[in-house]
Chain A
Amino acid sequence: MMRGVSKRIGSIRFAALSPEEIRRMSATKIITADTYDDDGFPIDMGLMDPHLGVIEPGLRCKTCGNKVDECPGHFGHIDLAMPVIHVGLVKEIKKLLQSTCRSCGRLLMTKEEAAEASKEMDAVDDLGGDYIDYRLMAKETAKGASKKEFCPHCGEPQEKITLDKPTTFRENGHKLTPKEVRERLERIPDEDLPPLGINPETCRPEWMVLTALAVPPVTVRPSITLESGDRSEDDLTHKLVDVLRINQRLRENRDAGAPQLIVEDLWELLQYHVTTYFDNQTSGIPPARHRSGRPLKTLVQRLKGKEGRFRSNLSGKRVNFSARTVISPDPMLSINEVGVPYEAARELTVPVHVTVSNIEALRQMILNGNEPELRDGKYVPGVNYIIRPDGRRVKITDRNAELVAEGLEPGYIVERHLMDKDVVLFNRQPSLHRMSMMAHTVRVMPGKTFRFNLCVCPPYNADFDGDEMNLHVLQSDEARAEAMILMRVQEHIMSPRFGGPIIGAIHDHITGTYMLTHQNPLFSKQEVLSILTNVHYGKPLPEPHLIDGKECWGGHELFSLILPDDLRMTFRASICQNCPTCKKEECEIDAFVKIRNGVLLQGTIDEKAIGSFKGRILDKITRDYGPDASREFLDNVTKIAIGAIMVKGFTTGIDDEDIPAEATAQITDALNVAIRKVSDLVEAYHEGILEQMPGRTLDETLEVEVMKVLGRARDEAGQIAGRHLGMHNSAVIMARSGARGSMLNLSQMAGCIGQQAVRGERLSRGYWNRTLPHFKKGDLGAEAKGFVKNSYKSGLTPTEFFFHSMGGREGLVDTAVRTSRSGYMQRRLISALEDLKLKQDGTVRNTADMIVQLHYGEDGIDPTRSVHGDAVDVDDILSEVLGDEADLLAKIGETKQIGYATVEKDLMETIEEEELEEPEYDMGGDD
């Protein structure tokens, strides 16, 4: 496993640097604040000293003698004229000052107490505590010690130490200079440090007050030469210049015996510069700024936050062999495939090791050059580079192709263009779940977009209004094998989120199967051929029906072609009206789906059957016949649905929301009645005869009553409108079959939009005691508080439009706030869970091998394979075992009216409960 690893990190330890160590590792001492002389050469013992490493190509490092990329850079150091406090360690220093004696330096604890504390710390280790427990204990020890008023060792009375942020320590209000602080820390004996959580072998407290400052290598702060020839220095260099300058002045003034006041001022200035050198966002002091007014980016700023070293360079990196472009749909592709444009395929490469068996093919490929023309209108892969066994890369050009092809030998690596059947990873941000990145096989095709089957939109949450997606080409056989087994789209049809299919038909595909199967329409031979051209079905077409001497096939027969032979299902479709007693086989809207032996006997195939999130047939096929069968089924569904919708034709327009004049009159009447009722309520409220509801104020009672009346009015308007919108209407077909939109959407377009709300209440704010100046102050009527009588189609009055905008704005703000907040919540959740791992024995453990959960999920069930969260689907097994007997039993149970659980009815009820809330796709709007 560790083959090829010559050096391995056994352990890593972070500790404070001692001044001696800083000087020892220093390549040179820095004394001058100047960087370059007039000729542009770096000054010795300046900040750009050539001993600190090389940044210019061609030069050699004066310390190690290596060239640019070989020299790692070397630290230098600045000797500080006076000690300064390290901002990053003030809390630690404060703790130490408070818990030790001001005169003898001992920990303010008796020997016994100290021994007790040490023992407890050892015990933490035995019981598997981590550094957080240590820190907590050390903090407590320090807290206990700092409460002592006299030193138990020398009897010295203790003074109160306070920290004046960020770096000034005071004792009873008197300032302690860093020098005094350092002296005190020096007095703390080694043996008193462990109880305070410090290992004296690696860290002495006085090191927290700096006397020498490490200067990072020039490679860490390279200067850039602008086009004009001017040099521009890194922010860190600027800050170090400031430190050096003040350090120099401080030393001169001190040595010349300048007044104490001046020396102290300079000392404080030095402290400021060193503080901002570490962290330029220290609270309490103004950030150091560039001449342009931009705050400097110093050490802490380099590491912290989203753009810092950790999150943007170490946890996440930029990669090669990747592409990004706009996406578009292609129902002819399998769900496992992705269409890649020629341009991208020529740029992305796969390394192939040359062997005796593939050498000829690869030679041919090299001869194609790096940009082969289409051959017979077909894409031909070429080669961009070859890598020789000595590691040298040779770029293939038209000129050298023949030569290189001739010299090709086993052991070479050929970087050939992407071609059909290559394995790639495909991803859309935000990558919120594992289905956000799946493995597809490539289909190189013309055009400039990535294309994929529409069934794969839900897992990526993609639409085609300008979305872009990323593609990564796998570079090794191991990676390809792993991706094909674990990450292929067909392995992710079931979502671990709810134990149902997340990949499934959407929009027009649902409409398509609806039109194919609803009421079992007949199709002529020509139509049947047109529908089935792209469908791969394994059984023969059944005998045609002869109607008027013409050969015809029913939609159910066509759909049955793509079902597995022994499929057996019974359920109710999306269009089901939920009648109080189900008529089952006699259902007049054909909502009762019955499949026996892989033949759709009756019923409509819609969202409930094949839709993503809800598809029952999809669920059953994936579970019982495996991902391969499921993939085939989905591919066929897309094609048969597209075929059917193209044969039948489907369109929608605003005339789909047309309702007769008498219906409009009815709606107006109903709304007027409701509005009158509201004014009656308001009148009753003013007269004080409105009956107060328990637990509510009079005002609240009125609001509740009004909302109830208006809500009912809106529903009524919707019902009136709905009565005139039948199943012959395209918009209704889409809404009822679950393809797109809802009946509410339609009733808002045809009937009445209804009450607008902000924060769940009727609109009330804006002007003093009214929403708009169009109304009287204190008007509590329906129109004055945001009730919209009109429909989207009839058009809104100006006041209604304004109210509607208020409600709409709240929605927009909510989405904006929700996404940012849930993004942050997700981040925290993932960082809490990222290193948890399911072990072979079923336990969940973290990286320290500690047990987090004794049995995964407490029941050990993989949610992906669960039945909407349950371990077993009893009803399914029952109908599997009993077959039609289950129905029979149900019938007997129903007729006898006994307490015995009726199987079929139970089945239906569970379907109802299982109905999952589908995430609302955004209706249009931009990307």
Chain B
Amino acid sequence: MAESDFNVLTHTLVPEHHLMSEEEAQQKLSELKITKDQLPKIRKGDACIKVLERIHGPISEGRIIRIVRKSATAGSFEVYRLVVKDVKG
């Protein structure tokens, strides 16, 4: 399927995605007292990453994405995901 111009992030069901700067990411990691590899992952080929790449330019593996979701229990909730290699198929 051809790449469309549609921005998935504008869809109601897709939560906010933000690319974190390296410093921010480092700060958050030390705040949580964890290392990068303990974070949940997001594939580089994820539609949301592709949209972010249109804004920020290429996003390398190892960067951290901040996702702000609506939460039934907490109102809104932040999660952090580590960009990893895309696996096709």
Contacts and interface: CB of A to CB of B under 8 A. Distances in A.
Report whether chain A binds chain B: yes
A140 B87 contact: yes
B80 A127 contact: no
B38 A851 contact: yes
Given A127-B82, A129-B84, A140-B87, A850 B38 contact: yes
A673 interface: no
A140 B77 contact: no
Interface in A83-135: 120, 123-124, 126-129, 133
Interface in A586-624: none
Contacts of B33: 841
A861 interface: yes
Contacts of B38: 128, 845, 849-851
Nearest to A861: B73
Contacts of B71: 858-859
Given A120-B85, A124-B85, A140-B89, A854 B74 contact: no
A136 interface: yes
B84 to A, nearest CB: 5
A137 interface: yes
Contact of A127 (B34, B36, B74): B36
Contact of A852 (B32, B40, B73, B77): B40
A45 B47 CA distance: 64
Interface residues of B, number: 24
> Which among A845, A855, A861 has the greatest number of chain B C-beta atoms within 10 A?
A855
A857 interface: yes
Interface in B29-66: 32-34, 36-41, 61-62
B33 to A, nearest CB: 7
> Which among B36, B41, B73, B82 has the greatest number of chain A C-beta atoms within 10 A?
B73
5 contacts: A127-B41, A127-B85, A128-B39, A854-B78, A859-B73
B88 interface: yes
Given A854-B78, A854-B80, A127 B73 contact: no
B82 A136 contact: no
Contact of B79 (A127, A128, A129, A854): A854
B1 to A, nearest CB: 21
A136 B40 CA distance: 18
Contact of B85 (A123, A841, A852, A861): A123
Contacts of B74: 855, 857-859
B40 A851 contact: yes
Interface string A784-822: 000000000000000000000000000000000000000
Contact of A126 (B37, B79, B88): B37
A851 B39 CA distance: 6
A576 to B, nearest CB: 30
Interface string B20-36: 00000000000011101
A226 to B, nearest CB: 56
B62 A857 contact: no
Interface string A855-893: 101110100000001000000000000000000000000
A857 B72 CA distance: 9
Nearest to A125: B37
A854 to B, nearest CB: 6
A136 B88 CA distance: 9
A127 B78 contact: no
Contacts of B32: 843, 851, 854
A859 B77 CA distance: 8
A871 to B, nearest CB: 8
Given A128-B41, A845-B38, 14 more contacts: A120-B85, A124-B84, A124-B85, A127-B37, A127-B41, A127-B82, A127-B85, A128-B36, A128-B37, A128-B82, A850-B38, A851-B32, A854-B79, A859-B71
Contacts of A849: 38
B73 A857 contact: yes
Contacts of A126: 37
A858 B73 contact: yes
A852 B40 CA distance: 7
A599 to B, nearest CB: 38
A123 B44 CA distance: 14
A854 B40 CA distance: 10
A852 B62 CA distance: 18
Contacts of B41: 127-128
A688 B66 CA distance: 62
Nearest to A854: B79
A863 to B, nearest CB: 9
A127 B40 contact: no
Nearest to A845: B38
Given A137-B87, A140-B88, A858 B36 contact: no
B36 A855 contact: no
B42 to A, nearest CB: 11
B34 A851 contact: yes
Nearest to A871: B73
A414 to B, nearest CB: 49
A354 to B, nearest CB: 48
Interface in A829-859: 841, 843, 845, 849-852, 854-855, 857-859
Interface string A900-917: 000000000000000000
A674 B32 CA distance: 68
A318 B7 CA distance: 57
Contacts of A851: 32, 34, 38-40
A137 B88 CA distance: 10
A344 to B, nearest CB: 45
A128 B38 CA distance: 7
A124 B62 CA distance: 10
B61 A127 contact: yes
Give 6 nearest A-B pairs by CB, closest first.
A128-B37, A859-B74, A859-B73, A858-B74, A858-B77, A858-B71
Interface in A159-207: none
